Structure 1
């Protein structure tokens, strides 16, 4: 998306003078979290949508973030962390309404919502009311739910630090896999530096030879694992842990252990 569109999406959604352009279907994946002016953005969706059109939006679900302690998904390019209640209100303000919702496994648990113009005759599906009720039951409307989130994040930090220190004292070699944004959030929050985690491997050529911001942990190609076989690999992008384990299956056969830190410390 061009910078102008990211900053003023409503203006860029308006048709050119003399144009009758509008859209029957608008589909956007994982965009709302990265939208700074969310009300302006939603107004742009309404302006661009045909009278009988449908909007589809997919974004990480706040309920899953809270329930599964996914604090490491909070980082600079995400401006919002949305519940279905919040999305319902945002749509209503701009003359749209929820029509349907699907729960999806992407990014640790996401929602795909479908919205219509407020006066569209299509009836709202039962899934909307069911998920709204679930959010309320799970405490998303209660301040105490959010106040309890910080201690859970602290526990992840403390458990990971204690584990890395124990492994170092035992003389075990440790490396990390995946120079992902969520991993960088975790490492900086825990204050982990190269003295505890010597390097992280990543298959992306653009990242190799550089350093993780803040922690200054060097990023090396996956082949580094074969040069210095570790006793343990910390998988930072926990949402693709099974995929990473499959890629490194031969290390497991040689005794290498895999570890994830979120939602809690787990040795695979």
Structure 2
């Protein structure tokens, strides 16, 4: 027996195809759930930590976490992520709605269903068009916010059983939308099979998700966290769709979340022609090596190298007497803080526009979270942007830090200091 065999992790079945999964993609150690906040009264209480390890299936190319938590552990009644706190994300949602209303000719006799509809950030934009909508959202905290806006919302998890019930009660949907939800479901087969049940014969489903190719090329290791059970390429999503009786007929590259894909799907045999863009993205993935298991083996060292670079920057800043504050308390930020072992010894505090996160502590790191005004009050030398995918929006909102010589720092793909606000290309 090889001396290293004793340390090998047992194989497990792929959550899509059932093949034996053995190839590790990334190991970020033990971390707490990243979308939890620690109330002051719980500061001295223990937290639960879970392994954060991603693997790739060499049969269907789905990158995935080993099962260690359930959706109910993550999407609780007090789930704190509200989509509407990002102005750029709201604008993205409105642009999508306007396009889909025209492209699919949606009207008062149509039905749009959104899966993981959150606080109504997207469905609200269908109101001016007079298009009926239905949200499906498992977390009561954000669902209640949508309901308060007059958006019908079912507070439940989606899958075959839910789809069957909703179709019987509301009818089939002309459009089913899911933004950044496909990665969040542990039983991806049941979830996508529900789409096949709930969709009209000539209906369209769109899913947006961070593209695995960008994650790897841009070293976005902090987007790996327990809420994300899967990490998706077009090859992997096409396989999942086909199993559920769905075909992808179009795909679009997006700049959101560090580089995403929006796929357009239909029932198998529905007849829409497949665009050339589908073949182009599949070819790009193949050219980049996403159909070769060896390609996935180097990602872990990329993450470790960036971890060292981030720590080098923060330690040097401290040694020079500089104050560093964070901006944002997103899931990706908490993954980064915990993986790198960053606490208040290196970052004094962070701020967040979401009132549900303010005056609490970040999980694991116990970094305090304040309202954004705390930046003006304390005048840090560096503002460390944890939701780096929103850097243009955040830099524009905090341009005032230049009054005292403040600068911004983005950690991904490698640490970078900005003296002037970034402008989206």
Q: What is the number of equivalent residue pairs in this alignment?
A: 267
CA distance 1:18–1:126, shift in 2 (3 Å):
closer
5+ residue gaps, structure 1, are none
SS in 2 for 1:157: helix
* 1:155 equivalent among 302, 305, 308: 305
* 1:231 equivalent among 375, 381, 388: 381
SS in 1 for 2:231: coil
Partner of 1:203: 353
Task: Report how far residue 254 of structure 1 moved.
Answer: 2.5
Partner of 2:287: 137
More displaced 10-residue stretch of structure 1: 89-98 or 139-148: 139-148
Q: Matches of 2:410 and 2:351 in 1, distance apart?
A: 15
Partner of 2:106: none
Partner of 1:101: 251
Q: Matches of 1:56 and 1:31 in 2, distance apart?
A: 11
Q: TM-score, normalised by structure 2?
A: 0.60
SS in 2 for 1:59: strand
5+ residue gaps, structure 2, are 1-136, 140-154, 419-425
Partner of 2:90: none
Q: Matches of 2:408 and 2:258 in 1, distance apart?
A: 19
Q: Matches of 1:19 and 1:227 in 2, distance apart?
A: 53
Partner of 2:406: 256
- The answer as to 2:152 corresponding to 1:2 is no
- The answer as to 2:233 corresponding to 1:83 is yes
More displaced 10-residue stretch of structure 1: 184-193 or 29-38: 29-38
More displaced 10-residue stretch of structure 1: 15-24 or 83-92: 15-24
Partner of 1:56: 206
Task: Report how far residue 193 of structure 1 moved.
Answer: 1.2
Runs of 4+ in 1 over 6 A off after TM superposition: 16-20
CA distance 1:265–1:97, shift in 2 (3 Å):
same
- The answer as to 2:358 corresponding to 1:222 is no
- The answer as to 2:301 corresponding to 1:165 is no
- The answer as to 2:195 corresponding to 1:27 is no
Task: Report how far residue 21 of structure 1 moved.
Answer: 2.5
Task: Report how far residue 131 of structure 1 moved.
Answer: 0.5
More displaced 10-residue stretch of structure 1: 252-261 or 62-71: 252-261
Contact 1:69–1:149 under 8 Å retained in 2? yes
Task: Report how far residue 255 of structure 1 moved.
Answer: 1.0
Q: Matches of 2:264 and 2:375 in 1, distance apart?
A: 44
SS in 1 for 2:354: coil
Partner of 1:39: 189
Q: TM-score, normalised by structure 1?
A: 0.94
CA distance 1:171–1:123, shift in 2 (3 Å):
same
Q: Matches of 1:253 and 1:229 in 2, distance apart?
A: 9
Partner of 1:122: 272
Q: Matches of 2:396 and 2:237 in 1, distance apart?
A: 37
Q: Matches of 1:179 and 1:257 in 2, distance apart?
A: 19
* 1:189 equivalent among 331, 339, 359: 339
What's the Cα RMSD here? 1.8
SS in 2 for 1:14: helix
Partner of 2:417: 267
Contact 1:15–1:21 under 8 Å retained in 2? no
**Greater share of helix:** 1
CA distance 1:229–1:20, shift in 2 (3 Å):
closer
Q: Matches of 2:177 and 2:293 in 1, distance apart?
A: 32
